Amino acid sequence: MSTQGITHSGSARTAVRLRPPRHRVAGRAVALWTLRALLLWAPPTAVAAGLATASGITGLVPQATGPLWVLTAALGALGLLVALVMPQWRYRVHRWEVTGEAVYTSFGWLWQEWRVAPMARIQTVDTERGPLQRALGLATLTVTTASAAGPLRIDGLDAALAADVAQQLTEVTQAIPGDGT
């Protein structure tokens, strides 16, 4: 099988090595990351605008009005820049793959990381769907391993695909003897 689920390389086990994963996350992940960025930057921008407006209306600290509007503009511009650039960059970098031997991930936008988790090390497999993810038909797949580096997270998967992969990983890891440690 070589769909966007678990790919098997035959009956013989192959060595697990760090390599680039093959699959992209869902294209809708760009919208998810854009919305998250806007929701992160909107409150501080709104607070700065509110303070500038209040300063201008009340006249209590007139010398603060100009700098507060500059702060508002800077926060708004930076937030807009992040919302436009970061999701596109993340989409170019985020990759994932599950084989019969391991789960591979590549993620990050400023700090990029590649990780591999051998099937024998997997302890739990979870899916998560927040309100924005549900609205966009997306999910996050979390693979917890016996690793100090923490779990592998694949953010921005199609929800049905994430459920299928979680089911397949559960079946594969249950067939491996041991406790994942």
16 or 54: which leads in pLDDT: 54
Residue among 141, 142, 177 at smallest CA distance from 158: 141
- Give the residue-averaged pLDDT of 65-86: 96
150 or 24: which leads in pLDDT: 24
Centre a 10 Å sphere on the Cβ of residue 29 and count the other Cβ atoms it contains.
23
Is the per-residue pLDDT at 173 higher than 60? yes
- Give the residue-averaged pLDDT of 162-177: 88
Residue among 31, 47, 139 at smallest CA distance from 84: 31
> Are 6 and 102 contacting, i.e. CB atoms less than 8 angstroms apart?
no
What is the residue whose two structure tokens read 């970098």? 93
Distance CA 83, CA 103 (A): 29
Rounded to two decimals, the pTM is: 0.82
Which CATH number describes the domain made up of 94-181?
2.30.29.210
Is the per-residue pLDDT at 112 higher than 90? no
Is the per-residue pLDDT at 56 higher than 60? yes
Report pLDDT for 9. 47
Distance CA 66, CA 60 (A): 13
Report pLDDT for 148. 80
Residue among 109, 107, 141, 140 at smallest CA distance from 122: 141
Report pLDDT for 166. 95
Percent of the chain at pLDDT above 70? Answer: 87
Report pLDDT for 67. 94
Report pLDDT for 147. 81
* Listed range (28-32, 86-90, 94-98, 147-151) with the worst mean pLDDT: 147-151
